A and B are shown apart, each in its own frame.
Chain A
């Protein structure tokens, strides 16, 4: 499955648009990571626990989007956009959405 955030896939011809596909996930970390983040906050800088959380979440969102596209029988997902929102303390929602397309065989 090819994923891009431009309108086409370079080198391929799109013959059919299969519609919107999207995947989202809400993830939180266990309280230990939050306590770690609290102590990291004494000196600032990168908060690794949260970086991991958001990267894992984003991967999962993209995976879910890809699965949806596979069900539709798509070859690629183009024009992918990402959104993040913080739902509550310690949890974040990741969302990825795009257009599923089919190539010329």
Chain B
């Protein structure tokens, strides 16, 4: 049984200390050790994620290079008229993708943005996303046997989930069967 005096003595011990000394009596680690240890863990996960992200980005670029080859026969343009041929069928085609950065790179960007200027990682991300969206549009066209897509428009939306902020790239156009 702990007496009242003992409890108040404990409380006195705590409140007469500075906040960073509170844990000293109860654990071998000081609060600074904890900050350093947790910081190292967070940094390790972040750096691993960053390396993995770089590898995944390269893999994605390679896969896009491959997928673009059979799609070359589908022509895409932004004009509203068809000049070369009489069409048989018309449909609306949409290709979209949501892409995001890894957290470590997001952190780098936050610091990089203090001085402003070109934000290269983001440029790469949106270019990659837009290319993927266009490939998906063309793939859908290919599945329906469409060989010409006219009046293609691009839109970019910022999507925010509960934890993560991402960008959505959309490409849409009118597919005509010739």
Contacts and interface: CB of A to CB of B under 8 A. Distances in A.
B100 A44 contact: yes
B176 A37 contact: no
Contacts of A42: 45, 49, 52, 102-103
B72 to A, nearest CB: 23
B57 interface: yes
Nearest first, the 6 closest Cβ-Cβ pairs linking A and B are A44-B102, A50-B98, A38-B163, A42-B49, A3-B92, A84-B157
Interface of A: 2-7, 9-11, 29, 31, 34-35, 37-38, 40-48, 50-51, 54-55, 58, 62, 80, 82, 84-86, 89-90, 92
Contacts of A10: 82, 86-87, 90, 176
A86 to B, nearest CB: 5
B100 A86 contact: no
A40 B151 CA distance: 34
Nearest to A7: B80
Interface residues of B, number: 47
B153 interface: yes
Interface stretch (B13-21, B110-118, B165-173): B165-173
B105 interface: yes
21 contacts: A5-B174, A6-B150, A9-B90, A10-B86, A11-B90, A34-B164, A38-B164, A44-B99, A44-B105, A45-B99, A47-B99, A47-B166, A50-B159, A51-B98, A51-B168, A54-B159, A58-B96, A82-B94, A84-B159, A89-B160, A92-B157
B97 A89 contact: no
A64 B16 CA distance: 67
B47 to A, nearest CB: 11
Contacts of A11: 86-88, 90
A47 B157 contact: no
A31 B162 contact: yes
Contacts of B96: 51, 54-55, 58
Contact of B159 (A4, A43, A86): A86
